Structures are given as structure tokens and as C-alpha cells.
Structure 1
Amino acid sequence: MHIEYDRENDVAYVSLVEHIADGAAVRQVTVETPGGGADLNLDFDEAGLLLGIEVVGAHAGLPEELLLPAPHPDR
């Protein structure tokens, strides 16, 4: 598992696999967190396996201890 966090946009991505190839995520399901503070975009592959989770509004949807050490996606 790997977490990247874009502080400027408050968006985190939690990869559940080592590498997600371009085009591998063929289905996305969006879920709103209880209380509506964040949206979770679940990325699935063709076989239905969960590859990763994009968290829009990460401060409302993830614990701070996960976000603080997370690298920015451009680094």
C-alpha cells in the first residue's frame, strides 16, 4: 500500500497494488463519506479487483497521521 497526497488540492491517492498501469483501472465507483466531507473514488480493474482509492477532501476522509508523511504525487 502506498499513499500520495496533494496538499494544494486536498486530494490523496491510496494505491493498494505496487503499480497501476495506464488503462488498468477500467471502472470507477464514487462513494460519499458519512457526513459528506469527502468523496472516495474506487478504481477497479477488469476482473473487479480494487486497485486504489482517490480521496477528494482528504482531510475530512483520512486520519491526519496518514497525510502528514505522504509524499506529493509529483515527487
Structure 2
Amino acid sequence: MQSTMKMFGIILMVIFSVSCGPSAPQMKTREVAERTYKCSLVRGTCKSECNSWEYKYNYCHTEPCCVVREYKRMEKLLSTPKYTT
């Protein structure tokens, strides 16, 4: 009687410990949602391919998160003195 109760207790512990955590597909879905959210935070888009003026930030599921490079003005052109007549 005692050995059957021990076995029953062990089986219950295994069942409860396995069923408590999130399943693998749920974790994968949550990861994809987090990556897509992080992509939108940096004003990126999840596309199949990035253009030349974009860089890959991270990967949303299988496609990259493409973020537009910031436009940087050339200081040399702005700092030249302007001559007026």
C-alpha cells in the first residue's frame, strides 16, 4: 500500500511539474512578439530583405528588422563662409 502511494505521489509530482511551465510554441510566439515590438520601438519594419539605406537591427521570427539609417549632414558644406555682394 505504501509503495503504491509513493508511486502515485511521484507520478503526480511529475505531471504537475511538467504542466506548470509554458509550452514551447507559447514561448516561441512570445519571443516573436517581443522581437517585433522591439523592432517597432526603433522605428523598424519586419521585411523579407533590407534596402541599401537600411540596416538589420535584429530578427523578427525569420525576417530581419530593417531600420532606416539616419541622415547625417556634412558639416564641411555647412561651415563654409558665404560671401555676399
Q: Where on the TM-score scale, by shorter chain, does this alignment land: which range?
A: under 0.3
TM-score norm. by structure 2 comes to 0.20
| Structure with the bigger percentage of strand | 1
User: Is the radius of gyration larger for structure 1 or structure 2?
Assistant: 2
| Structure with the bigger percentage of helix | 2
Q: Which has the higher contact order (CA 8 A, sep 6+)?
A: 1
TM-score norm. by structure 1 comes to 0.21
